[in-house]
Structure 1
């Protein structure tokens, strides 16, 4: 890393006193693939994967971990979900059956591995209620079931089932901080090749209220996470959607087009504009960032995020937003890309989610994938027992580590001025008061190196002459620690790189 002062050095100003959102963490999901590798792989291979994901020394130090509570499609849906890597077991396979806590053993192994490596924030999420609670006996709807596949008379049973699972893992000393009972409720999920379920707004509220009542009854302080909306545009009030699209239309993707009865849009208004629901879900709403960068040739990256934050602010200044799932879909989705191209595309999206949407948490989809698709942090070519237990690292893994390893729960994003160009250099800064730790993450999307001079105002605890320790992810480096940069010196951000500067 060069420290030579350059004529075109960008002046960066960080003001630690100007705080924005508090950070809950960075995470990924252990769905599906971890049930396979956690139960079929050697201890050595599993430990290597766990270190890459959870260790702050050997890996990227994720601070959140998502555990999928399966619906039982492994037993009932082999003809619908033909890919065994997309089916899931259930802890309870029938109304009168006992719980079998040996199920989902692979995911459970990684749950404990995450805890052992310092992860403190755990989210349990559900794609479909258990198959015995669904109208058609499957873990995905069909056109006959109406607005949702969950039986009307099973809403309370669903709440009891989820509370039982939460209680079990609390006894196992891996308590879940959050429970997400509903995933992408706008999609129809008919005959889906994975577990899924739709819910209109009324259906969602019934589940949330029943689950809240059950958690209260048992004294469980697990927070309900909702609604895991499929895309940012589905969050927007009709007026905001019209302003964003420049039309008089309302959001009409998925079931919002009238395919099934009820309402499937305006999630900010319906969740955070309802005082009872708002309180139950912790003054927070979660959504997935699919199609939030480009759509049909339209650049959405910054404008859509500004619209979401503006809409949120209409319902209170203390509201939290989580980006709770993302991978690359659409025409760019097919084909693994282990290079800096995908790493930079995602790092840029993280930057604007932190700065414009003001996300408190950012969570990738599959932590490990065996697909030829841009959906994994780690990849494997393993398919079945006997195959090589290959562990293939992507540049995206390490790029996410530029955030997750250094921007820890309890930190606040603080003001950074001087780098916010989506085609050139982007920067965001974070301060953890308890640890007296300041870090700044720079994303250089351009093909040219950038020189920055970082000025820090109002930093308590540190000497005024701050030095920076750089950690670089680039074509040649995987979160590589570089030499300390002396105080007051310009720092070179390599082309096509992500660099985290940690104040010393």
Structure 2
């Protein structure tokens, strides 16, 4: 059965797009962080050979760097969770006694490769304070997930530590962090000493104290232009609750709200509430991931975010990961933790295959470029954007049901008769199109009618659109 629909593309209320990005932990903590082909595929726009696959470069322009929490110096008192594996432990730059600026070589290598491939916005985020600042010496969390694990006496030193690394990155690495994020899902009760990754719970009062110290430390390090993002909560609901509870003086120090997309929120009430709660404060969707390889869930989440949350950026958590969580399938040597303590693994890794969602994401990242304006499409499943520099209008539609014919009303932008360049990806396993160029679709007097096959992602791109 063919469903029919009409969507009016409206530039009223449009907002500016910062871009698309990814985090470097944990994949770039392995030897994958040294690979030129992965840097080119993720951050460039050319076609790249990754193994035997020719992939369209995604052109991600935002990189989130994970500031580490672990050291292994002789005599170190760091405590390791019995559930953690080696690639999920990020090496830090200080053991409390001395600085080691040669640490974390793989992530730092990918930082510069990403920059050279085209990335231009960098953010540093902390998952846990360095282990020696924690209550129990364990960067996976306190003994109980409801307990803060940053020692009260180290709140200011933690902020100074973040600022010192940001200054070092600017002066020695050639990387200017535009923003820093001192927390990662701080309201969750999941960060405890037996967790399978690093993490740290922060009460509201601890968050407020660290944010105040951090602004002061950044300014003292000559980094007054570096923004503070917070609080990187796991769910939209948590982010709204945290923002409402923060004091007004703390809110004034926060330049952007970061939030993760692990709340499915299909009716978009939580996204809408967060957008309303933070008002005009900019938002980034700073971490998204799931274990569905076909990419449809990701596409639907992007559409819901951009229509109801109105973030300025969308960030993938793990582009190379096992069990279908990645855009690319990551194969690592540390899949089994060590219950007796002492994380297993040697930071080796390889790419085992390409998930369809790599090609799905290409529809968005390659065609909706930074500084574009996100327009109202009239529907969650269609993302519309206009690039004033290239005069290009882009429509990306996710059709997660039966075949559907959609008429796009473009008359608020153009009444011309022209052609729309077309790309399609089939998310069904029976389909073979993977970001495949299809014949142009004709626009007649500003009206564009397209029949979308079932379970497809379609990009339509129109040139010479100057509203």
Which residue in the other structure is 2:270 paired with?
304
Could you tell me which runs of 5 or more consecutive residues in structure 2 were left unpaired when the two chains were aligned: 48-56, 334-344
2:351 is paired with a residue of what secondary structure? coil
> Do residues 368 (structure 1) and 328 (structure 2) align?
no
Distance 1:494 1:60, change over 3 A: farther
Which residue in the other structure is 1:69 paired with?
67
> Do residues 322 (structure 1) and 322 (structure 2) align?
no
Q: Deviations over 1:468-489 (max 9, x none)?
A: 1122222322222333323325
Displacement of 1:433 in angstroms is 2.2
> Do residues 182 (structure 1) and 183 (structure 2) align?
yes
Which residue in the other structure is 2:107 paired with?
107
Whole-Å separation in 1 of the counterparts to 2:144 and 2:107:
33
1:481 is paired with a residue of what secondary structure? strand
> Do residues 397 (structure 1) and 353 (structure 2) align?
no
1:429 is paired with a residue of what secondary structure? strand
Distance 1:74 1:410, change over 3 A: farther
Q: Deviations over 1:143-175 (max 9, x none)?
A: 379742112221221112111111111122211
TM-score of the pair, normalised by structure 1: 0.79
2:328–2:351 CA contact under 8 A, matched in 1: no
TM-score of the pair, normalised by structure 2: 0.84
Displacement of 1:7 in angstroms is 9.2
Which of residues 85, 103, 107 is equivalent to 2:87? Answer: 85
Distance 1:144 1:354, change over 3 A: closer
Which of residues 403, 407, 413 is equivalent to 2:368? Answer: 407
Which residue in the other structure is 1:429 paired with?
384
Whole-Å separation in 1 of the counterparts to 2:66 and 2:391:
35
Q: Deviations over 1:265-323 (max 9, x none)?
A: x212134xx433223211x3222121324xxxxxx4423323333333xxx3x222222
1:428 is paired with a residue of what secondary structure? strand
1:396 is paired with a residue of what secondary structure? helix
Displacement of 1:436 in angstroms is 2.4
1:28–1:66 CA contact under 8 A, matched in 2: yes
Which residue in the other structure is 1:446 paired with?
401
Which residue in the other structure is 1:503 paired with?
462
Which residue in the other structure is 1:25 paired with?
19
Which residue in the other structure is 1:34 paired with?
28
Which residue in the other structure is 1:494 paired with?
453
Q: Deviations over 1:397-445 (max 9, x none)?
A: 221222222222222211223x44xxxxx21211222332321110111
Whole-Å separation in 2 of the counterparts to 1:430 and 1:108:
33
TM alignment of 1:350-365, pairs within 5 A: 350-365=302-317
Which residue in the other structure is 1:117 paired with?
117
Displacement of 1:193 in angstroms is 1.9
TM alignment of 1:14-413, pairs within 5 A: 14-16=9-11, 18-38=12-32, 46-58=35-47, 59-72=57-70, 76-94=78-96, 96-98=97-99, 100-143=100-143, 147-171=147-171, 172-188=173-189, 189-191=191-193, 192-220=195-223, 221-236=225-240, 266-271=241-246, 274-282=247-255, 284-293=256-265, 300-312=266-278, 316=279, 318-328=280-290, 333=291, 337-338=292-293, 340=294, 343-369=295-321, 371-372=322-323, 374-383=324-333, 389-413=350-374
Distance 1:145 1:183, change over 3 A: closer
Whole-Å separation in 1 of the counterparts to 2:61 and 2:164:
25
Could you tell me which runs of 5 or more consecutive residues in structure 1 were left unpaired when the two chains were aligned: 1-5, 237-265, 294-299, 421-425
Whole-Å separation in 1 of the counterparts to 2:218 and 2:198:
24
Aligned length: 428
Displacement of 1:388 in angstroms is 7.8
More strand by share: 2
Whole-Å separation in 1 of the counterparts to 2:192 and 2:424:
44
C-alpha RMSD over aligned residues = 2.5
1:73–1:138 CA contact under 8 A, matched in 2: no
Displacement of 1:204 in angstroms is 0.2
Displacement of 1:457 in angstroms is 3.1
1:366 is paired with a residue of what secondary structure? coil
Which of 467-476 and 74-83 deviates more? Answer: 74-83
